[in-house]
Structures are given as structure tokens and as C-alpha cells.
Amino acid sequence: MTKTIRPTRSGLLAAALFTTAAMATPALADGEVNIYSYRQPVLIQPLLDAFTKETGIKTNVIFASDGLAERIQAEGANSPADVMMTVDIGRLDGAKQLGITQPVSSEVVNANIPAEFRDPEGHWIGLTTRARVVYASKDRVEQDSITYEELADEKWRGRICTRSGQHVYSIGLFASMVAHHGAEKTEEWLAGVRDNLASKPSGNDRAQVKAIFAGECDISLGNTYYMGKMQTNEKEPEQKDWANSVKILFPNTEERGTHVNISGVVMAKNAPHPAEALKLIEFLSSDAAQQVYAEANYEYPVKPGVAASERVKSWGEIKPDSLPLAEIANNRKTASELVDKVGFNDGPSS
């Protein structure tokens, strides 16, 4: 059985609730693993239930949208966290840079997860991938292929929508451009994309698709899984109309491949249950867990041979860029500096 503890205001309150729960049920008892999660509990619950059924190890979950890595750092040696689950290479590598992780050494994990989706020193492990793609209007964009480089072409002047250039999803893509082309060419490219924007960057990925539906722009950058979220949104059915108005273009399919980012997991530096934590990480890398986790999140499994869900496959064939994510992480600072240097978030210069 999994206990899910939801903060109503902040990561600090989440930790307080965790402490209260610990008084009722010994969180540090044998046979348990404590999870700090940026991913919503509903998305990981099926996995945790299966893990407990298979191993007998109970799971305790703290969920928060931000601040968990910093919380682990502040808790220091007394932190109850065994693992942290999060998204984006920036957040995973950021946890490593904060000094709150420890390397995982596992033949099981190494066999299941390709090297490009693992930290070379073992401090983070990828679990699923999502592609940074182009959403394009079905009515106003005839082409069915595109490259990231092409987004700087003048033919797209006033036709591109995107979220903030400093968002972690944007920085991941821009860092991959630095890795492939160098800082100077990426700066020129960013300036070109900036001048092709229909407006100043704002909103999330779904907001960009809404803008395409409304005729405010013709293409946008976004993560693949948002298509699944829109297509299945019963609470806001208008999002189904947004999704139906666009097609997904996987950039650079004929060349190096499409930029992908990951969701992943780290083992906390001071994990009180390292053996149980390792069992959880190994379980999450297994065939069955990979399939369930990827399907629940409309993402791609990272384990070779595990098929994506039928919905995800319906969006088209993906050829992932094989560039190691660790190399992308090394270029995030440069990418962020270039975003500010060209005034990307200020929108078109003319």
C-alpha cells in the first residue's frame, strides 16, 4: 500500500506532513522506501502498487511541484528521502550538482537503460523520454517534415509560438543545439527564431497549441506527451479541439534525430533505505514498469524492446537524437546565457 502525502502550499508543508505521518507509521522502518516526487502521485501509483506487490516493500510519497531537491539539501544527513523522481535533464543534473545524490551501481539498471540515458557516474537514471517536437497547423502548414535549424528561416516570420526560452524544456533543446553546432551558431539561430516569433514567449506547451487553434501562429515547440494530455482531457474538452487542429512534426528525422528529454530518478545521498531504494530503481527499469509508466504519462520507454503505447505510436515514427543527455546537461548554462544575450524572451526585434 502506498501513502501519498500532498502539500497544499509548499514543499515545506509537505515535509511537515511527512513528519506527522511518520509519527503514526514508522517511515524509517525496514521494508519501506521514501519517495520525493515531482511527478503527480496518480501517474506513479500503479507502479508503486506493483512494486509493493512484487517485493513487499511499502512506499511513502511526498509530492510537490517544486522545492524538493532544495528540501533534501536542507535536511542533510537527517533527510528521510531515499529517492527523488523528477523530469528533465536539467533537474536531474541539478540534483547532482546540489550534492544530494549518490551513484547507483547496478548491473540490472545498466542492462536495462542505455548509457545515453544514464549519468556517466551513476547519479541519475532515465526512466522515460519525451520528444521536443513541432506542433503544426493542419490547415496552414503543408509540409510534413522539418528541422530545428529551419525554425530560423524567414518563411516562418511571425508564425512561431513558444513558451519562455528560460524554461527547462526550452533550455534542454537549446543546449542540444549548442552541443551540435557550438555557441556562436546557436546564438545566430536563437536570434533568427526570436525574430520569427508571433509574440513574446509565454504560457505552457498546451497554450501554444491553443494559439495555433486560434490562428495566432502556425507552429510551436512542445513536448510530445502534451498531445496525449489534450486528446484525453475530459475536464476541459475544448483541448481535444486544440489537439485535433495540429499535427506533430518530428524534427531532424532524416539527420541526427529529434531532441529527447527524460523523466528519471536519483538515489538520495543520505538514503536511510539504500537497499530498498535500489530495488525500486531496478524495478522501474524493468519491462513491465517501463510500459506502465510510459503509457500513464504518454511518454516513450527508454528500455530497448519495450513498445510505446498505441496512442503514442499514432503520432508518428520517432528517431531520437543519440547525443548523450549528460553532454546536453553540460551545455545548459551556455544555452541559458544565450537566451538572455539575444533577448529571446523579449520577442521579435522588429
Domain holding 77: CATH number? 3.40.190.10
Verify that 200 and 324 share a domain, yes or no.
yes
Verify that 203 and 275 share a domain, yes or no.
no
pLDDT at residue number 274: 97
Verify that 175 and 207 share a domain, yes or no.
yes
Q: How many domains does the chain have?
A: 2
Verify that 70 and 86 share a domain, yes or no.
yes
Verify that 199 and 295 share a domain, yes or no.
no
pLDDT at residue number 46: 86
Model pLDDT for residues 5-50, shown as the tens digit of each residue: 444 333 333 333 333 233 333 333 349 999 999 988 888 888 999 9
Verify that 187 and 301 share a domain, yes or no.
no
Verify that 324 and 223 share a domain, yes or no.
yes
For the residues 275-289, what does the mean pLDDT come to? Answer: 97
Q: Is 225 annotated as a binding residue?
A: yes
For the residues 270-293, what does the mean pLDDT come to? Answer: 96
Over pLDDT 90: what percentage of the chain? 85
Q: Is 148 annotated as a binding residue?
A: no
Verify that 33 and 114 share a domain, yes or no.
yes
Verify that 139 and 39 share a domain, yes or no.
no
Verify that 11 and 37 share a domain, yes or no.
yes
Verify that 28 and 52 share a domain, yes or no.
yes
Q: Is the pLDDT of residue 321 over 70?
A: yes
pLDDT at residue number 266: 98
Verify that 100 and 230 share a domain, yes or no.
no
pTM over 0.85: yes
Model pLDDT for residues 56-103, shown as the tens digit of each residue: 999 999 999 889 999 999 999 999 999 999 999 999 999 999 999 999
Going by DSSP bridges, is the β-strand pair 219-223/160-161 parallel, antiparallel, or unpaired? parallel
pLDDT at residue number 350: 57
Domain range for residue 95? 2-128+261-313
